[in-house]
Amino acid sequence: MTTLLTPTDIARIVAAHGLPAVLRRMEEAITADFRRWPEFDKVARVAAHSKTGVIELMPVADADQYSFKYVNGHPGNARHGLPTVMAFGVLADVATGAPLLLSELTITTAIRTAATSVMAARALVRQDTRPGGRTMALIGNGAQSEFQALAFHHGLGVGTLRLFDTDAAATAKLVRHLRGVPGLKLQVCNSTAEAVRGADIVTTVTADKRNAVIVDASMLEPGMHLNAVGGDCPGKTELAAGVLHAANVFVEYEPQTRVEGDLQQMPADFAVTELWRVLTGQAPGRRSQAEVTVFDSVGFALEDYSALRLMGALAAELGLGEPLALIPRLADTKDLYAQLAAVQPALRAA
């Protein structure tokens, strides 16, 4: 039997453990898998583009397990009453091909993306923290934003968040959810430039299907770390090319980020470092306190493999998930026709 995990199951896992603990365990799981990067069979995701968005399939496998995620990105979806990003995925047994888990990945993607952002930032941010903790500008206050905010608050000591969204209602929603988190100061700003001023970390998590310039080079300050999450598709970017020119740039899987990331604006020989090499000590991360670092995040299949395995394990511990008869159960594995006869006895007689 395949186990089915719904959004309610994921919400129950979060309720049982608390979001900070789930984010921490997600970061640990993704970090452990990035550290064994060469063991995975990797490929850039397959994307089907349309005028309004993109639908992507993201497969990855090691010797034991295979996973894929189905995910879309439709920035105009709010007018249809749908989120910008919706996802589900499968974890399967490599030895037999049997699907083990079919899970929602919409909430899980927000958790795994925030955990990946913190994993990258942990390796790249300046180490000198100020009293009151780090300051992060959070540009784009939509569905992903609470997860980014809380991951950076609990995981990296962000004590002040400077918020901006072109939609004031999105910022008001974020403030409503975060107000009252102990040790977290919220400052609502009137522009990206205002939010970014003086920030140690800048997270951009906007949705707009165009080459937007959320951050330009004039906004950079020495030692900043940029966590650029929303530029993740051809023709959909957030950083001006000048930002990348001025920075040391880190990516998940280079062949995919060259096509989809803010990196798509740069020449093919523009140097970047894959994060797994930093996490395994094979490449340096930040090289000086003054250097500007960029994590050009697009989302890689391995993060979803880690997420499916973690959520599957946490669900099993809590007795969550429904058995799903996705694959026919056959008395004789060569008699698939018997499945039809089971509901149509006339076929058996024939």
Ligand X SMILES: NC(=O)c1ccc[n+]([C@@H]2O[C@H](COP(=O)([O-])OP(=O)(O)OC[C@H]3O[C@@H](n4cnc5c(N)ncnc54)[C@H](O)[C@@H]3O)[C@@H](O)[C@H]2O)c1
SS (H, E, C) 198-226: CCCEEEECCCCCCEEEEECHHHCCCCCEE
129: exposed, middle or buried (Cβ count in 10 Å: 0-12, 13-18, 19+): middle
Among 161, 172, 117, smallest CA distance to 137 is for 161
Question: Please, what is the minimum distance in Å from the beta carbon of residue 12 to ligand X?
Answer: 22
2 vs 225, beta carbon nearer ligand X? 225
Angle 44-45-49 from CA coordinates, rounded to 5°: 125
For residue 20, which phi and psi values (nearest 5 degrees)? -60, -40
Near ligand X by CB under 6 A, which window of 30-38, 134-142, 153-161, 339-347?
A: 134-142
Q: State how far the alpha carbon of 273 is from the alpha carbons of 28, 117, 120, in Å.
A: 21, 15, 12
Residue 109 binds ligand X (CB under 6 A): yes
Residue 189 binds ligand X (CB under 6 A): no
- Site mask for ligand X (CB under 6 A), range 68-107, x = bound: -----x-x--------xx----------------------
Contacts of ligand X in 284-303 (CB under 6 A): 297-299
Near ligand X by CB under 6 A, which window of 8-16, 135-143, 218-226, 271-279?
A: 135-143
Residue 191 token pair = 């522009």
232 among known catalytic residues: yes
Contacts of ligand X in 230-259 (CB under 6 A): 230, 232
2 vs 88, beta carbon nearer ligand X? 88
Residue 276, classed as helix, strand or coil, is helix
Residue 53 binds ligand X (CB under 6 A): no
Residue 144 binds ligand X (CB under 6 A): yes
The residue annotated as part of the active site, out of 9, 232, 296, 304, is: 232
Query: Which ranges of the chain would DSSP assign to H, the alpha helix?
Result: 7-17, 19-35, 106-124, 145-156, 168-178, 192-196, 241-245, 254-260, 275-279, 301-318, 337-343, 345-349
Residue 306 binds ligand X (CB under 6 A): no
CA 88 and chain centroid, separation: 13
From candidates 41, 93, 167, 322, binder to ligand X by CB under 6 A: 167
* Residue at 282: amino acid letter: Q
Residue 141 binds ligand X (CB under 6 A): yes
Inter-residue contact 3 to 322 (CB < 8 Å): yes
173 vs 341, beta carbon nearer ligand X? 173
230 vs 321, beta carbon nearer ligand X? 230
Instruction: Say how far apart CA 257 and CA 270 lie, in whole Å.
Output: 12
Residue 143 binds ligand X (CB under 6 A): yes
Site of interaction with ligand X (CB under 6 A)? 73, 75, 84-85, 109, 113, 139-145, 164-167, 170, 205-208, 212, 214, 229-230, 232, 297-299
